[in-house]
Structure 1
Amino acid sequence: MCGIAGIFNTQGCGDVDPQLLRAMNQAQFHRGPDEGGVYFAPAIGLGHRRLSIIDVASGQQPMVSAEQQACLVFNGEIYNHQLLRQELINLGCRFTTHSDTEVILQGWLVWGAGVVAKLRGMFAFAIWDQSRQQLFLARDRLGIKPLYYSMLASGELVFGSELKALQVHPDLPSELCPQAISDYFSLGYIPEPKTIFNQVYKLRPGHTLTVSVGQNLPQTKQYWDVSFAHQREPEQVAKLLVEKLKQAVDIRLVAEVPLGAFLSGGVDSSAVVAMMAELQDEPVNTCAIGFDVADFNETEFAEMVAQRYQTAHQVSTIAADDFSLLDKLAYFYDEPFADSSAMPTYRVCELAKKTVTVALSGDGGDELFAGYRRYQWHLHEEKIRSLVPDIARKPVFSLLGKVYPKADWAPKFLRAKTTFQAIARDTIEGYFHNFSIFTEAQKALLFSDELKAMLGDYRSISVFNEHYKNFDGDDPLSLVQYLDMKTYLPGDILTKVDRVSMAHALEVRVPILDHEFVEWSASLPAKTKLANGVSKAILKTALEPHLPHDVLYRKKMGFAVPLCRWFRGPLNSKLKAALFDGHIAQSHLFNLGYIQQLFEQHSSGLRDHSAALWALLMFEAFLKKQLSNANNEIAEPVESVA
């Protein structure tokens, strides 16, 4: 796993500042501490940091083709590179390394932009084609690997694996994006293609970007999307599922460094560990993180799987006062990021790195096989919506939602006010609000008049509406799975894992998100995934011969942290100081009176505002990081010049 960076003068004149490019590359040292290199040609500079996994002895980057026609910097792993290598040899190509990097480079020379459709793996890469005077960027189908870019007023296009690399450039726009702020307080992350800064973007998953000399506007193009249009139930689906999952795991076991897996005790990570154990002779290296709060501790279930497969298992416990990570998280995420499970994810990566350099994870199972509880709740609401005509549903249930008393203290099925309000909304709006941290009404109270004026009539639900236009299925469960694959999966889950794994120079592979497995799972009918109230029904059925019943059918916990208790206990004073004595109070972006109300209601036990308060706390950490200019805290690189 690696970090890439680059500067391209689209006017085609002048040389790239070598000191500036090296500084951008240096900012991502943690992503590739083994080696570093830079490449310079007229109007272009490419940088690379390397974490050596495959072909450790060679495969250094930037990699230049034999005829000096093209240069590549690449972050990721290509699992079918040996098959592609043979295909290219048959076409007359000659290889000088055994690396997947050279396969991409040679593939570009033969297939051009079509090379991305042939790659099976996770990747973000940049190719400078000297003969075409063209820069080509690409990101993998699901967004496992990140890629940021910006077109500067000077005519330079800058890019990097992390936003901090771009921030080294003195001309990068630093104005906050109001729409991104609004999205963050709805979703807890900033969805593609936005970033927290105006005129700075993430390349969308499954997209490429091309820009040539003399071209002022980069051209982006989608090369892949998941389709739910042709759902069918194949014979022996459970057997097929295990076979396809095992293959996706198998091709991810190739490495020249120690390899292991995360084992949370949930269905998905346990499934990956089971497949690994059945594919290799030596014990699987596994690791788990627990909490000193029993309701959030899953380590006993992880232990069941570890014992069954006799893994080399490590366990570490997070204490209730483990708050030292707040500033570190802000540094590694660069943008505001409100998924509190980033804390245990950081710790499990830290634990894994003690024994392995590559770890397999179970990420993606909830999206592919309908594992989130919100899916069941959404289908319940959809059933009620379908019983009442739109012309009556919206006015009637909107009125009931206004007059019915609020009851946050009650079980969810008795919170009629929330239910009435949800049913009054349409399908997309209902799902969006089911997991929004702040609703639009609450953001109207949270945001200052100044920020609301900048937002105008913008609503964050437009993020979902945009993706809805591209959905080709016809059932409500597939729709919300598709929306999550386009938003929550890349924006939250994969971002979370990439940043904290790379913070420890640990490569994480995600076999469940193998794009061929994703495409196959999308072809399964919704009824196989959510059946009679059982989430991941077909996955659990398929895994019954491989995993304990208590692991498969226990209540889902998720990789959460006990924020509610922390904010009423050991973190209460830190939270208060951050919200009212820090940068949020000076930013003119928020209504401090409403924040005071949230804090007091939560502290008193009247309401649980832990998610909202965590989002505010992490936004404060972002503002603090921006003002402290923390980009200097990276070790010296070891660099070569191509």
Structure 2
Amino acid sequence: MCGFVTFFSNNPMTLDNKAKLSPMSEAIIHRGPTQDGEYFDEHVYLGFRRLSILDLENGKQPYSYGNDEYELIFNGEVYNYRELREDLIKEGYNFTTDSEIEVIATLYKHEGESFVKKLRGMFSIIIWDKVKQVFFGIRDPFGIKPFYYIENENGLYVASELKSFFANPETTYKDLDTKAIHDYLTFQFVPEPNTMLKDVKLLKPGHTIRKELGKKCEINQYYSLQFNPISMPKDDRMKEIRNVVEKSVELHMNADVPVATFLSGGIDSTVVTALASKIDPNIKSFTIGFDREGYTEIDLAKETADKLGVENISRIISAEEFANEIPKIIWHMDEPVADPAAIPLYFISQEARKHVTVVLSGEGADEVFGGYTIYHEPLSLQGFKNVPKPVKSMLKAISNKMPEGMKGKSFLDRGCTPLSERYVGNAKIFLDEEKASILKNYNSDFTYAKTMKPIYDKIKNYDEVTQMQYVDFNTWLTGDILVKADRMSMAHSLELRVPFLDTEVLKVASKLNLEEKINGNVTKYMLREAYKSQLPMLGAIDRKKLGYPVPIRVWLKKELYDWAVNIVKQSNAEFINKKAVLDLIEEHRKGPFDRSRKIWTILVFLIWHRIYIENTASYDFAKEIALDKINK
């Protein structure tokens, strides 16, 4: 795993320009402490940080190909590069290394820009084609690897992490996007391609960016997510799933450094660990938990590890550790992402890095195979389908008058609201009308329905469960799951790989029909069925999803109460109504309603604002604003 910073200048560059660019690479040294490299010419700067995983001696970057025809940098892994290499050898090409970067360069030479369709992996790639004078960038189909960019009058800047831009006065933008703030309060992150900053964007998954000298950049899509249900006998379906998942795990195990797994109590990490242990019986697994009853899966993970004959290393996190690391975690995150699960992921990555360089995880299985409990909702609301619209309007009006927490209120409201107006992804923190009390600059035009419309317009022909999957692929997965996976592992120079997020795995899973995803009360039905016979001794196959449960609900009532109040009082984010937030914190402390996710969403934003907007966006400053007080 690596990180890069690049600049394609509209004007001839000077040594002064280069002096401003080098610190941008230094800002992300955690992504690649093994080796650094730079390339610099009249119009292009390529800065690279390498974490060596494959071909440790010969994989240095930036990489020059041919007679200085191309310069390349590459963050990620191409899992089918050896297969591609053999195909290219048959075409008459010779190789001097066993590195992925040489295969990428050669494939580009052979096929041009369309070569990206043959890559199987997670990647962000930059190619400077000196012959054509074209600057070409690529992001993988799922968005596993980050790709931030700024286009201004100077040219096109690209970086693996947003913080790099703050190391250069010409790319330090601090103007917030008002709509992005509204979206953040709904989603707990800013949906791509936007960021919290007006002038910074993300290249969307499955897209390329292309710039010719003196012209504006062009963005094109090369991969699109499709679901195509096809009937198949159950035994054939299970065999197909097992074959593709096992092959993906095998490819993801390829490394010249130690590989381990993250192991929770659920099916996803259990399947990955079980398959990985067949390839490497000495593989280690890692588990995290909290010192609160009901907020740990360590016992379940250890039970699974024992049955698999795999070593399990665990760690318990305290409230004090939690709060002390939060500013550093938010600095690493680049943008405010208010998923509490980022914190345990940070600590488990820290622990794993003491032992290994690469770790496999189960992220993506829920989106790919239909694993979220909320996917049951369309089935539970089927009774409303035949209710006339006037009656629905009346029932919705009744639900609006029912007091919060009253039984049936939520059921009526959801049943009388179209999916496109109620479902925005796996988390919905603030409703549009609730933001009016939190934001001094509240704008009623910035609704989440408008944000979601371009997505729902593409999926009208899918059943509602598949629509929810598609939404999660385009919001929750890219904006939350993969952001925290990349940043929290890279914070410790650890490469995290996700075998379920593989184009071949998705190709198989996209053929599942509704009953093979959601069957009765069972999610990921066909994935579970495929491994029941293979792993009969593991209770995790039938266990409900827990994820990384985090006790912020209880901590905000006591241990973190004063800390949260101080964060709000000390903030200089002028557009946040501090009184409304403090009232929310007090309401949560007194009960009976749980406001912890709303509070946490605001706290994360305020800490991020203090680090990136009010101050210098430096790691040293993030360390300085750790907790003021923890209640024992």
Q: TM-score range by the shorter chain?
A: over 0.9
Q: Name 2:517's counterpart in structure 1.
A: 529
Whose relative contact order is higher, 1 or 2, with alpha carbons under 8 Å and at least 6 apart? 1
Q: Deviations over 1:419-440 (max 9, x none)?
A: 2222232111122388310010
Q: Name 1:390's counterpart in structure 2.
A: 389
Given that 1:16 and 1:40 are in contact with CA atoms closer than 8 Å, whether structure 2 keeps it comes out as no
1:77 aligns with 2:77: yes
Matched AA of 2:600: W
Q: CA deviation at 1:110?
A: 1.5
Q: CA deviation at 1:246?
A: 0.5
The RMSD of aligned alpha carbons is 1.8
Q: Deviations over 1:267-306 (max 9, x none)?
A: 10001001112233x3221111122212121112111221
Given that 2:187 and 2:425 are in contact with CA atoms closer than 8 Å, whether structure 1 keeps it comes out as no
Matches of 1:251 and 1:129, distance apart in 2: 30
Matched AA of 2:254: V
Q: CA deviation at 1:547?
A: 5.0
1:590 aligns with 2:569: no
Q: CA deviation at 1:252?
A: 1.1
Matches of 1:556 and 1:515, distance apart in 2: 24
Match of 1:566 among 552, 555, 568: 555
Matched AA of 2:596: S
Matched AA of 2:400: K
Q: Name 1:637's counterpart in structure 2.
A: none
Q: Name 1:115's counterpart in structure 2.
A: 115
Higher mean C-alpha displacement, 29-38 vs 124-133: 124-133
Q: Name 2:600's counterpart in structure 1.
A: 614
Alignment of 1:357-436 (within 5 A): 357-381=357-381, 383-393=382-392, 395-407=393-405, 414=407, 416-432=408-424, 435-436=427-428
Q: Deviations over 1:193-219 (max 9, x none)?
A: 00110021000001000011010x211
Given that 1:227 and 1:471 are in contact with CA atoms closer than 8 Å, whether structure 2 keeps it comes out as no
Q: CA deviation at 1:611?
A: 0.2
1:541 aligns with 2:529: yes
Matched AA of 1:133: Q
Matches of 1:170 and 1:460, distance apart in 2: 34
Q: CA deviation at 1:74?
A: 0.4
Alignment of 1:197-596 (within 5 A): 197-215=197-215, 217-236=216-235, 237-280=237-280, 282-322=281-321, 323-381=323-381, 383-393=382-392, 395-407=393-405, 414=407, 416-432=408-424, 435-448=427-440, 451-452=441-442, 455=443, 457-471=445-459, 473-544=461-532, 545-546=534-535, 548-579=537-568, 581-583=569-571, 586-596=572-582
Q: Name 1:94's counterpart in structure 2.
A: 94
Given that 2:69 and 2:129 are in contact with CA atoms closer than 8 Å, whether structure 1 keeps it comes out as yes
Q: Deviations over 1:557-609 (max 9, x none)?
A: 22120111000010000001111x221xx322122332132111101123210
Q: CA deviation at 1:462?
A: 2.7
Q: Name 2:586's counterpart in structure 1.
A: 600
Given that 2:13 and 2:41 are in contact with CA atoms closer than 8 Å, whether structure 1 keeps it comes out as no
1:166 aligns with 2:152: no
Q: Name 2:628's counterpart in structure 1.
A: none
Structure 2 residues not aligned, in runs of 5+: 622-632
Given that 1:15 and 1:43 are in contact with CA atoms closer than 8 Å, whether structure 2 keeps it comes out as no
TM (norm. structure 2) is 0.94
Matches of 1:367 and 1:523, distance apart in 2: 14
User: Would the alpha carbon gap of residues 306 and 207 (structure 1) be closer, same or farther in structure 2, given more than 3 Å must change?
Assistant: same
Q: CA deviation at 1:134?
A: 1.0
Q: CA deviation at 1:132?
A: 1.1
Q: Deviations over 1:36-83 (max 9, x none)?
A: 001011111011000000000111000011211111010000111011
Match of 1:631 among 603, 611, 618: 618
Matches of 1:55 and 1:49, distance apart in 2: 16
Given that 2:489 and 2:495 are in contact with CA atoms closer than 8 Å, whether structure 1 keeps it comes out as yes
User: Would the alpha carbon gap of residues 12 and 422 (structure 1) be closer, same or farther in structure 2, given more than 3 Å must change?
Assistant: farther
TM (norm. structure 1) is 0.93
Q: Deviations over 1:443-465 (max 9, x none)?
A: 122111xx22xx46121233322
Matches of 1:244 and 1:524, distance apart in 2: 14
2:521 is paired with a residue whose SS is coil
User: Would the alpha carbon gap of residues 228 and 564 (structure 1) be closer, same or farther in structure 2, given more than 3 Å must change?
Assistant: same
Q: Deviations over 1:460-501 (max 9, x none)?
A: 233322122233752111110011011101110010010010
Q: Deviations over 1:531-556 (max 9, x none)?
A: 01111111111111315353222333
Q: Name 1:640's counterpart in structure 2.
A: none
Q: CA deviation at 1:620?
A: 1.2
Given that 1:76 and 1:123 are in contact with CA atoms closer than 8 Å, whether structure 2 keeps it comes out as yes
Given that 1:271 and 1:547 are in contact with CA atoms closer than 8 Å, whether structure 2 keeps it comes out as no
Given that 1:179 and 1:460 are in contact with CA atoms closer than 8 Å, whether structure 2 keeps it comes out as no
Q: Name 1:639's counterpart in structure 2.
A: none
2:252 is paired with a residue whose SS is coil
Given that 2:134 and 2:211 are in contact with CA atoms closer than 8 Å, whether structure 1 keeps it comes out as yes
User: Would the alpha carbon gap of residues 66 and 15 (structure 1) be closer, same or farther in structure 2, given more than 3 Å must change?
Assistant: farther
1:568 is paired with a residue whose SS is coil
Matches of 1:553 and 1:614, distance apart in 2: 31
Higher mean C-alpha displacement, 86-95 vs 480-489: 86-95
Structure 1 residues not aligned, in runs of 5+: 635-642
Matches of 1:95 and 1:52, distance apart in 2: 19
Matches of 2:425 and 2:380, distance apart in 1: 15
Matches of 1:576 and 1:107, distance apart in 2: 56
User: Would the alpha carbon gap of residues 597 and 420 (structure 1) be closer, same or farther in structure 2, given more than 3 Å must change?
Assistant: farther
User: Would the alpha carbon gap of residues 285 and 473 (structure 1) be closer, same or farther in structure 2, given more than 3 Å must change?
Assistant: farther
Matches of 1:329 and 1:434, distance apart in 2: 22
Matched AA of 1:575: A
Higher mean C-alpha displacement, 191-200 vs 434-443: 434-443
Matches of 2:452 and 2:93, distance apart in 1: 44
Given that 2:3 and 2:160 are in contact with CA atoms closer than 8 Å, whether structure 1 keeps it comes out as yes
User: Would the alpha carbon gap of residues 14 and 212 (structure 1) be closer, same or farther in structure 2, given more than 3 Å must change?
Assistant: farther
User: Would the alpha carbon gap of residues 549 and 377 (structure 1) be closer, same or farther in structure 2, given more than 3 Å must change?
Assistant: farther
Given that 2:5 and 2:48 are in contact with CA atoms closer than 8 Å, whether structure 1 keeps it comes out as yes
2:137 is paired with a residue whose SS is strand
Alignment of 1:176-187 (within 5 A): 176-187=176-187
Matches of 1:220 and 1:232, distance apart in 2: 36
Matched AA of 2:386: L
Q: Name 2:156's counterpart in structure 1.
A: 157
Q: What is the count of residue pairs matched by the alignment?
A: 616
Higher mean C-alpha displacement, 47-56 vs 535-544: 535-544
2:105 is paired with a residue whose SS is helix
1:435 is paired with a residue whose SS is coil
User: Would the alpha carbon gap of residues 175 and 630 (structure 1) be closer, same or farther in structure 2, given more than 3 Å must change?
Assistant: closer
Q: Deviations over 1:227-267 (max 9, x none)?
A: 11343335521222112111000011111111111011211
1:437 is paired with a residue whose SS is coil
2:228 is paired with a residue whose SS is coil
2:396 is paired with a residue whose SS is helix
Q: Deviations over 1:107-133 (max 9, x none)?
A: 111211111101000000111111111
User: Would the alpha carbon gap of residues 117 and 321 (structure 1) be closer, same or farther in structure 2, given more than 3 Å must change?
Assistant: same
How many percent identity over aligned positions?
A: 33
Matches of 1:136 and 1:226, distance apart in 2: 22
